Each structure stands twice: as structure tokens, then as C-alpha cells.
Structure 1
């Protein structure tokens, strides 16, 4: 009887251990669809340029339209993604040693109610992982974008303009101290209000219009072409 109980105890522990080892990051339905899509698309070609981030990157759709001479830009943005989700899917990008990565992240982390410090550390974790795994890849760290609550208020981001500014400043200082390129998307997208995205660039209080993406593309054009 004792041996039987011992057997079931060991079996239970082993089963729990196996399940624990199999636990992975569980994103939204859209996150999982996109990750599966990227898996099906397979490896990235040599000299690929990657737009890595959240909805701001994904809604850019085919970034090649802005840069006809590039033709090698791959959109790896996912709507709703945060620093945890992006970190978990770096294995779809880094093994292929892309020539350039344009990285933006942080807005959805803010919507979780996280502190500036926690978000900053999550973003830096991704940056450091990219640098260690792909030292030859040119990494461009892009700022968070402004909001416009007059056009549309996002409940989980309401009143967090100052946190966006703080995060951008932390990221800028980090990049300056670590010989990284920091790209300021925030200020070129502002209107007359120093904390508010220009109404022509903002379609819903958070995301960009076509004009907004044209501004973004013009900001990074020299980096794409260099």
C-alpha cells in the first residue's frame, strides 16, 4: 500500500513538473494568430530590416511602400503587444541576424498600470537581448508616441502623458549612455499642445493616420537608407 501511494505521489510530482516546464507566454488571440503567421512565413532573408513593436508598427502595414529602394522591410508589429510578448518572440527574428531593427514598445505596458521603472526595465531587457544575440545588427530604439484625448480617450491610458514623457527621457538617456541610436517620434508628431498628438496625425486618440505614418517614415528614412 505504501509503495502504491509512493508511486502515485511521484507520478503527480512528475506530471506537475512536466506541465510547469511546458508553460509559455500566452498572449491575446491576435498575438497568437500573428506569431503563428510569422512561423509559417519562416526565416528572414539576408539583410532584412525589421519593424518590431506593437500596434503602431503593425498598423504601418507594408512599410516598403515608403521606401521603394529598400524592399526588404518586414513588419513584426503585433497589436496589443507589450515588452513581455515581444521578448518571448525574439526567437522568430534574432537567429536570422537582420541588418537593422527599428524597435518601439511601452504603450501597452502603460495600459497595464505598470510603473515607469518596470516598463523601462522590460524594454531594456529586449534591447540588451538583441545586442548580445545580434551584435552586428543596427538597432534603432524609437520613442513612445504622444496621445490625443480630444480625438479619443483610451481608458487605460488616460492621464498618462507625463509617464510617456518620462519613459522617453529614460530611454533617450539610456541610448546616449550605451552608444545606441534613439529616434524621437514623439516631438515631430505633436500639435500646438506640447503633450498632444497633432489632430491630423491621430485617428482615434492613440493610433496614426496615413499622414502620421508619412511623418514617421520621413523621420527614419535616412536610417533605412544608410
Structure 2
């Protein structure tokens, strides 16, 4: 049966309209491409301390390394402990504190400033610079665990002590993070035969705030009263080895 010409033309017109793009579709903006994935967080960079580490190595080349020594490694709280040998008599101390360092920096340099000495023990202090730069308590604890693993790879039974992160007046706003990091490291230490040396508690006043009289003018680094507390906490552990 033949369709009337008018009906045939109507069918063809409808078919053309259904296949042609609509005005709205033709004028629509192109689809927005998916946003690129955020770049991975950059790995911590310890290269800024290369000159400090090279200076330690130059000193080693001139001075006979002392067998049975205790290596003090970490940040400026050790670097500025100029009375270390007098405060801890009978302890052969190698001070490898370098200002501004973070926990992960000593992980990076452990094979150069700890392992070569084959020390009798290691005393470690760092963490407040990490928290100041925005690292989390869990990251600080994880980095310290990596340090212990690194130094014990060379000496499996090496005694290691962590000096708790101190409460500094200028960084009192970080006290919650300091407490959290100390608690995580204390828990880790108990499971790994690592000593946790608590200097945090005796450096607080009755209101739970940092004791101003223990610090120099910058309210970050300690005076002799502050170091006297550290001596009273670290000394008994060393003498008990």
C-alpha cells in the first residue's frame, strides 16, 4: 500500500529533526575535563644539613674515634649542650646534634653520624621542629621507629633512648601535639626495648605550662637549669647500661 506523498514527506521531516543536534546541544559548553590528580607529597629533604654532616666527618678524620662512646644525635637541644661532658662525667660522649634538624633528618644521616662509631648506646632528641613544621605526631613516631630500625640494622642489640619532646614556652601552642607524639613514642618504645626518658613532665609548672625559668631569652632553647633536669633524667639510664 502506497503512502500519500504528504505523509511520506512528514515522516522524512521528523526523522531529520530527531538526528540533527538541538540548538541547546550545539551551543552547550564542552565538558569540563577531570581535574588532574594531586601530586604526591614530596619526600622529606635533608640536603640542607649536608654541610653540618660533612663537618662532622671532617672532624672524625682528624680525631680518633672513641670506642665505647655514646652518640647524642638530634637537634639543637643537643648541639647547644656545651657542658655535656662535664654534666655526665665518666660517659664518653660524641655530640652529633645539628640545629633545626627533624627526626627524619637523623634517619637520613644515621649511616654517617651514628653507625660508623659502633657506639655503646644512642641518645636521641628531636621532634619539636617536626611538629612546628606541621608534621603530625604519628609521622614523628613513625620516623623515630625508622631511626631505630636503621641503627639496629648495623647493631641489632644497640641500646637506644628517646628523650621526650620538651615543652618550650615559645611553642606552647603545640603542647597537645607534643603530648600525642610523646605518648605514641612511649608506647612504641615499650614494645621495642627502647628507653623513653621523660623530660617533658619535670619541665612543666603546676599549671601544666612550660617553666619559663628553664629557658634562655628565645624561650626555645634551655639554660643550665633546663640541662640540669636533662642530666638528672639521662644520667641514670646511661649509668645503668
Matching residue of 2:111: 91
Matched, 1:215 2:229: yes
SS at match of 1:85: helix
List runs of 5+ in structure 2 lacking aligned partners: 1-44
Matching residue of 1:197: 210
SS at match of 1:219: helix
List runs of 5+ in structure 1 lacking aligned partners: 1-23
Matching residue of 1:162: 176
Alpha-carbon contact 2:138-2:184 (below 8 Å) kept: no
SS at match of 2:189: helix
Give the CA deviation at 1:132. 2.3
SS at match of 1:91: helix
Q: Give structure 1 regions of 4+ aligned residues with deviation exceeding 6 angstroms.
A: none
The structure, 1 or 2, with the larger RCO (C-alpha pairs under 8 Å, 6+ apart) is 1
Deviations 1:171-198 (A, max 9, x none): 111111222211111001112221x221
Q: 2:55 aligns with which of 20, 24, 37?
A: 37
SS at match of 1:217: helix
Matching residue of 1:46: 67
Deviations 1:9-48 (A, max 9, x none): xxxxxxxxxxxxxxx8411xxx333212211122632101
Alpha-carbon contact 1:97-1:137 (below 8 Å) kept: no
Q: 1:74 aligns with which of 58, 77, 94?
A: 94
Aligned counterparts of 2:133 and 2:122: Cα–Cα separation in 1: 25
Matching residue of 2:19: none
User: Which has the greater radius of gyration?
Assistant: 2
Superposition RMSD on alpha carbons, in Å? Answer: 1.7
SS at match of 1:160: helix
Query: Scaled by the length of structure 1, what TM-score is found?
Result: 0.78
Aligned counterparts of 1:67 and 1:158: Cα–Cα separation in 2: 29
Question: Number of matched residues?
Answer: 191
Matching residue of 2:32: none
Alpha-carbon contact 2:78-2:96 (below 8 Å) kept: yes
Q: 1:125 aligns with which of 122, 146, 153?
A: 146
Query: Scaled by the length of structure 2, what TM-score is found?
Result: 0.74
